Amino acid sequence: MNSRRKFLQQATALSIGGALLSKSSWAESFLHSKKMPKTGIQLFTIMRDMDTDPIGTLQKVAAAGYKNIESAFNKPGSFYGKKPKELKGIMHDMGMEWRSHHVGGTPLKLPPNFKIPNGPDGKPMSFPAMMNLRDNSQELVDLVAEAGIPYIVCSSINIESGDEIKKSAEVLQRAGEQAKKAGLQFAYHNHATEFNLTDGIVSYDYFTSQISADILKLQLDLGWVFKAGKNPVDIFKQQKGRIPLLHVKDMTAAGEMVPFGNGAYDFKETFENLDIAGVEYFFLEQDFPKKPFEDIVTSINNFDKFKKSL
């Protein structure tokens, strides 16, 4: 009897252990689903539609299947014409959660010879005056704190000279301290230029070395990282645990932004190493799409297929 009981116990243990270790087991599927954040979107992708019809636009975002939201820019005193708690409630009622908000670091300064892209109506897009961290950091922090969301992110800041980089670091330091005091986490979003050498300074390295990780976290924009010739996983390792947010942006070999999965970038290694970075949320993004609503559907459908390959 004892030997039979022992045999059954061992067999049961082996069976359970094998199921837990199997790549096709329900246990791994459960753990994997817990590891992968729900798919988010950066609303800059549909910026004009959010300005003209925020409710209808968010309904389309929800219908496409997005669950996490990152908003972009502030007209003075509001988010897309809505008060902070009002907008958060609207998103929640649609089955989505507002996680993060982008703000400019300094007043918008377009690059020399920059051609403003056309919107879906064929006319050049307009950029109304927005608040920025250099001039309005406390007001912006207060608005985001009122919304009750965890992250405020600097979308970009002037880094065209060594002097600008140093002044911008001071802006980021101050904003990060204000955010921390308000119970928010401050983060910085990169473009490709942060990895360039400017007057002997690489601004990404300067910001991350001069500002402590508790004040400044990072939102790694994967598209711009690839564009700069860098491997996101290398940055994950260099900035271990400091990257709670990602932008997932795909581009063609020629540098044209396209829906996720329609470009040249391979995101598999990156998404297999999210735990190194400490990623909590990621947001699909496409700058100035010609067919915004078609493209956001294409992106999330392609991403759903991509997830199955991990």
Percentage of residues in the chain with pLDDT exceeding 90?
Answer: 78
User: What pLDDT, on a 0 to 100 scale, did the predictor assign at position 121?
Assistant: 72
Mean pLDDT within 271-293: 97
Q: What is the pLDDT of residue 114?
A: 65
Lowest mean pLDDT among 17-21, 83-87, 98-102, 292-296: 17-21
Exposure class string for 116-138: b at 16+ Cβ within 10 A, else e: eeebeeeeeeeeeebbbbbebbe
Beta strand extents in the chain (DSSP E only): 39-42, 68-72, 97-103, 151-154, 185-189, 197-198, 201-202, 217-221, 245-248, 250-251, 257-258, 281-284
Alpha-carbon 66 to chain mean position: 13
- Whole-number pLDDT of residue 188: 98
Number of domains in the chain: 1
Residue 86 has pLDDT above 60, yes or no: yes
Residue range 184-215, pLDDT digits in tens: 999 999 999 999 999 999 999 999 999 999 99
pLDDT tens-digit series, residues 135-175: 999 999 999 999 999 999 999 999 999 999 999 999 999 99
Residue 19 lies in a domain: no
Mean pLDDT for 12-32 is 43
Query: Could you tell me if residue 15 is inside a domain?
Result: no
% of the chain with per-residue pLDDT over 70: 85
3-state secondary structure 230-244: CCHHHHHHHCCCCCC
When the pLDDT of each residue in the chain is averaged and rounded to a whole number, the result is 89
pLDDT in the model for residue 73: 80
Is the residue at 2 inside a domain? no
Strand, coil or helix: 211: coil
Q: Say if 21 falls within a structural domain.
A: no
Judged against a pLDDT cut of 60, whether residue 25 lies above it is answered with: no
Is residue 5 pLDDT above 90, yes or no? no
The neighbour count for residue 211, using CB atoms within 10 Å, is 19
Residue 10, in any domain of the structure: no
Q: 22 in a domain, yes or no?
A: no
Residue 108's pLDDT is 72
Show the domain range for 37. 29-307
For tokens 């290398």, name the residue: 234
User: Per the domain annotation, does 218 fall within a domain?
Assistant: yes
Q: Is residue 100 part of a domain?
A: yes
Q: How far is CA 119 from CA 163, 202, 219, 291, 295, in A?
A: 35, 34, 26, 9, 14
Cα(154)–Cα(185) distance, integer angstroms: 11
Higher pLDDT: 209 or 75? It is 209
pLDDT single digits (tens) 121-136: 777 766 667 899 999 9
- φ/ψ region of 100 (left if φ > 0, alpha if ψ in -120 to 50, else beta) reads beta
At 113 the pLDDT is 63
DSSP string covering 256-276:
-EESTTSSS---HHHHTTHHH
**pLDDT for 100 beyond 80:** yes
Give Cβ neighbours of residue 123 (< 8 Å, ≥ 6 apart): none
Q: How confident is the model at residue 119 (pLDDT cuts 50, 70, 90)?
A: low
Residue 38: burial class (beta carbons within 10 Å; 0-12, 13-18, 19+): middle
User: What CA–CA distance (Å, rounded) separates 223 from 267?
Assistant: 10
From the CB of residue 227, how many other CB atoms can be counted at a distance below 10 Å? 18
- Hunting for tokens 């001071």 — which residue is that? 170
Quote the tokens at residue 122.
């064929």
> What 8-state DSSP symbol labels residue 158?
-
287 touches 259 (CB < 8 A)? no
Least confident of 31-45, 156-170, 218-232: 31-45
Say which CATH number the domain at 244 has. 3.20.20.150
